[in-house]
Chains A and B, each alone.
Chain A
Amino acid sequence: MTATVGNPAPPAGAGETGRPAEAPRTRAIRVLLWSLRHWSVVVAGAILAVAVLWALVPGWFTHANPTAIGATDKLLPPSSAHWFGTDRLGRDQFTRVVYGARASLSGSVVAVLIGVTVGSVFGALAGWFGRWIDALVMRLIDVVLSIPGFLLAITIVVVLGYGIPQAAAAVGITSSAAFARLIRSEVLRAKTSQYVEAAVASGARSPTVLLRHVIPNSLGPTLSLVTIQFGVAIIWIASLSFLGLGAQPPSPEWGRLVADGRNFMASKPYLVVYPALTVAVVVLAGNHLARHFAERQKR
């Protein structure tokens, strides 16, 4: 059915719509109404904002030193002084979680940047030029994707060494194959679309077609993968750190904190639960926002 210009007049029984004619509303009320309807999006955004602030300005949230050892405060349970308790060296666990945000978030940002950049270049080249370039890039992607991702990341870490930057690079390189494949297919889809054909038929030059039509229209789906990949990168970097392949002591990182607390699992579960929940909540919030944006884009 084709869309008609201007909605037809409301049906005779308009009384059942239950909504009065639109009165002029202030912007603030509108924002408030939107927030009420999308409260979960607002909550997710707030959680992410807090996590980002933890990473940028941890001093706003805690005055303790994340690496200061307190000989007398070892393994204290959560209290008003130590919200998440203290670890086996007497360090304030909440402070370590706050400071750990920097390693986790910056690592995932770097990982996604590497993945997107490498993936875009290869994917766009393959999709736009086709033929042997496409064949070559696709084979390369096949090979990289044939090695289970997390294992490939571990292998790269072996080569690069331990640390957050190395872990980020490993995760980024591993994810670039998936990005390349998506961007290739998006570029191909845009390239074979009728609007691109119409542009060519109306006389547009090749670079114009690429810059004005193909690239902007390929970006949308890529962006939603980028947002989802943030969550994946956080999880992978935390997992690498959990295995001892990422952040090195004494610097705090969420996966590392869980690993450190693991030996006290049976008696002091809070050492594990709080950092573990932090990762889960942040990733959940990020994924929720990603889904929200993806759905908005579909409309």
Chain B
Amino acid sequence: MARHLLKRLAHAVLVLWAAYTLAFILLTALPGNAIANLINNPQNQLTPEDGKILKAFYGLDHPVVVQYLRALDALLHGNLGYSLSNGVKVSDLLGDALPGTLRLTALGFVFGAVIAAAVGVAGSYTRWNWLRTLLRSVPALAASVPSFVVGILILSGFSFELHLIPAVDNGTLLALVGPAFTLGIMISAPLSQVFSASIEATRRQPFVHVLQARGAGERYIFGHGVLRNSSLPVLTMLGLAMGELIAGSVVTEAVFARNGIGQITLNAVNTQDLPVVQGVVLVATTGYVLVNLVVDVVHPLIDPRIRADILAGRAKRIKRSTGATPVGPGVDEAMAPRLPEEVATR
């Protein structure tokens, strides 16, 4: 198990490095890079000497490979470079903005999970058909409305009309409710869709029928079987939702005029402040990868089958299929280890 953890951790680090490299290639190494444009822009009225100094400051007087290696080295020392627009350390800039955004995404996550759980459970178990129909259409509706629209509707309804929550960020928790609810609605759509479908599928499983035959009622069956089985796919979905939360905070912070990573991203994009954009990508990806790492670790705790696969060292990526051996070039042997599954149960 410890080896599995280490393996996942190493994989996460590798993915982070690859993502950083991808961002670097996109933002720095591609021809016509924006830093050079900024320096060469006649409006900035830089003398050639100033340009040289600036280039040296940002390390642009070196070949791309050297720049990349330097950036990587700096990254390992916790240095993300300097903002192009005001020369502030990117790590300081992001460090100041991060807590606010984290509070927002955390509350958004809670809202989303609660909405999804409520819609999923109530939609599957309600006795009233109208309520079921209504609840089942909620996720589809939430998925169809852009988050900026949701945000604006909440803002106009609860702030401008009802004056229930402040329209601007005054640092209170109440000011956080509007944007967090916006994020929550956004991520609740896929979560509740998966949860509902998963509950339905689990309730059709033969083992549920057997529980009924033992005399168990719906509530007992839900608590002793359906809940755990149907939360497995939701767990995977939670990891994905985290990515949406991070990206969604850009839009939400813009709508509610909040300071945070989103605001910094927008400013950086508008001023072509590439080191900052790169830093944001790195921070967001780190958060996303970390959450998915946690999901990977929690999954085998809930599902003993995955635990068994890990202990047996079976590859996780190969999905169990019907037992037919694949054909076509290059799979005969590679996929074959699935066959002795029947033996493994002995």
Q: Which of B27, B141, B153, B327 lies in contact with A191, CB distance below 8 A?
A: B327
Residues of B within 8 A of A244 (CB): 266, 270
Residues of A within 8 A of B247 (CB): 148-151
Report the minimum CB–CB distance from A117 to chain B (whole Å): 20
Q: 1/0 per position for A107-127, CB-CB distance to B under 8 A?
A: 000000000000000000000
Interface size on B, residues (CB 8 A): 61
Q: B interface, by DSSP: helix, strand, loop or mixed?
A: helix
Interface window among A61-69, A217-225, A265-273: A265-273
Q: 1/0 per position for B140-173, CB-CB distance to A under 8 A?
A: 1101111111001101100010000000000000
The answer to whether A143 and B274 touch (CB under 8 A), given A130-B329, A148-B247, A155-B281, is no
Q: Is the CB of A151 within 8 A of B335?
A: no
Report the minimum CB–CB distance from A144 to chain B (whole Å): 7
Q: Is the CB of A156 within 8 A of B26?
A: yes
The answer to whether A148 and B243 touch (CB under 8 A), given A158-B34, A196-B327, is yes
Residues of A within 8 A of B326 (CB): 188, 191-192
Q: Which of A142, A154, A196, A276 lies in contact with B269, CB distance below 8 A?
A: A154
In the complex formed, the residue of B with least CB distance to A210 is B328
- Of residues 197 through 234 on chain A, the ones whose CB sits less than 8 Å from some CB of chain B are 197, 200, 206, 209-210, 214, 231
- Of residues 321 through 342 on chain B, the ones whose CB sits less than 8 Å from some CB of chain A are 321-322, 324-331, 334-335
Q: 1/0 per position for A152-185, CB-CB distance to B under 8 A?
A: 1011111100000000000000000000000001
Q: Determine whether A75 belongs to the interface, using a CB cutoff of 8 Å to chain B.
A: no
Interface range for A: 35 or more
Q: Is the CB of A147 within 8 A of B146?
A: no
CA distance A70 to B335 in the complex (A): 68
Report the minimum CB–CB distance from B336 to chain A (whole Å): 11
Q: Is the CB of B148 within 8 A of A129?
A: no
CA distance A150 to B288 in the complex (A): 13
Q: Is the CB of A146 within 8 A of B288?
A: yes
CA distance A276 to B154 in the complex (A): 13
Residues of A within 8 A of B277 (CB): 154-155, 158
CA distance A129 to B334 in the complex (A): 12
- Of residues 16 through 38 on chain B, the ones whose CB sits less than 8 Å from some CB of chain A are 16, 18-19, 22-23, 26-27, 30, 34
Q: Which of A192, A193, A242, A287 lies in contact with B335, CB distance below 8 A?
A: A192
Q: Provide a sorted-by-A list of 23 A–B residue pairs whose CB atoms are within 8 angstroms.
A: A130-B331, A138-B317, A146-B19, A147-B22, A147-B23, A147-B284, A147-B288, A148-B246, A148-B285, A150-B251, A151-B265, A155-B26, A155-B277, A191-B328, A194-B322, A209-B327, A210-B328, A242-B251, A244-B266, A245-B269, A258-B152, A265-B155, A266-B160
